[in-house]
Amino acid sequence: MPPRLSARRLFLVILFFLGVSLLVSLHHRFSWVPSRTTPMQADPEPDDELVVMASVPSIVQNYERVNSEETEPTEKQGRPWFMAGGTEYPTNYKGPPRLFPDQADGDRVVDQLMYVPEDYQGYDTPEKVILAYNGLGPWGQKSGSASFHGCPVNRCTLTDDRSKAADADALLYK
């Protein structure tokens, strides 16, 4: 005989599945909910205009500050060195670097990969040791500096020797 279906059991089963759904949604940060704004919003609402007008003085000041400083041109002719078929290599950057999230205007990762410090002297610079703490197997690289052959700042060595952890300049975990 099949089990009885009471209102109390039905309510508890529905409540259980709603709770599990809520936990899964929280874990995925409600990715199934559509965003309210679209990237190409045709017509801003009046509230948006007020916000834009309130921030115009700061935008103008930032624009004047950026244009008064010597900066690299933002439009590159070719692809960056780290992309397939890349031909653009960075030069020594003059001025304050914009490498952190609150400073970057564009793609911060590209800015970091195209950055060469102003005082970088090539082979006179001490070699940096990068330690892959869990081994080089998951990274698909070999120990030594061969991994950095095409890198503009090529004074790095990759190792998996954990005894160098205290002296390493960077630790990578995977």
Task: With beta carbons less than 8 A apart as the criterion, state whether 118 and 70 touch.
Answer: no
Provide the residue range defining the domain that includes 111. 92-121
Task: Tell me the C-alpha distance between 142 and 160, whole Å.
Answer: 9
Residues 114 and 130 in one domain: no
Q: Which two tokens stand for residue 89?
A: 């290599």
Task: Tell me the C-alpha distance between 167 and 33, whole Å.
Answer: 47
pLDDT of residue 20: 94
Q: Please tell me which residue, 59 or 17, carries the higher pLDDT value.
A: 17
Predicted model pTM: 0.44
Residues 117 and 132 in one domain: no
Residues 133 and 168 in one domain: yes
pLDDT of residue 48: 46
Q: Please tell me which residue, 5 or 8, carries the higher pLDDT value.
A: 8
- Is residue 130 in a domain? yes
Count: domains in the chain: 2
- Is residue 8 in a domain? no
- Is residue 112 in a domain? yes
Residues 151 and 137 in one domain: yes
- Is residue 165 in a domain? yes
Residues 105 and 136 in one domain: no
pLDDT tens digit string along 106-161? Answer: 776 777 777 777 777 776 777 889 899 888 888 888 888 888 777 777 778 899 99
Task: Tell me the C-alpha distance between 61 and 15, whole Å.
Answer: 55
The pLDDT confidence band at residue 19, using thresholds 50, 70 and 90, is very high
pLDDT cut 70: percent of the chain above it = 64
pLDDT tens digit string along 21-37? Answer: 999 888 887 776 665 55
Q: Write the DSSP string, 1-42.
A: -PPP--HHHHHHHHHHHHHHHHHHHHHTTTTTSPPSS-TT-S
Burial 87-115 (b: 16+ CB within 10 A, else e): eeebeebeeeebeeeeeeeeeeeebebbb
- Is residue 150 in a domain? yes
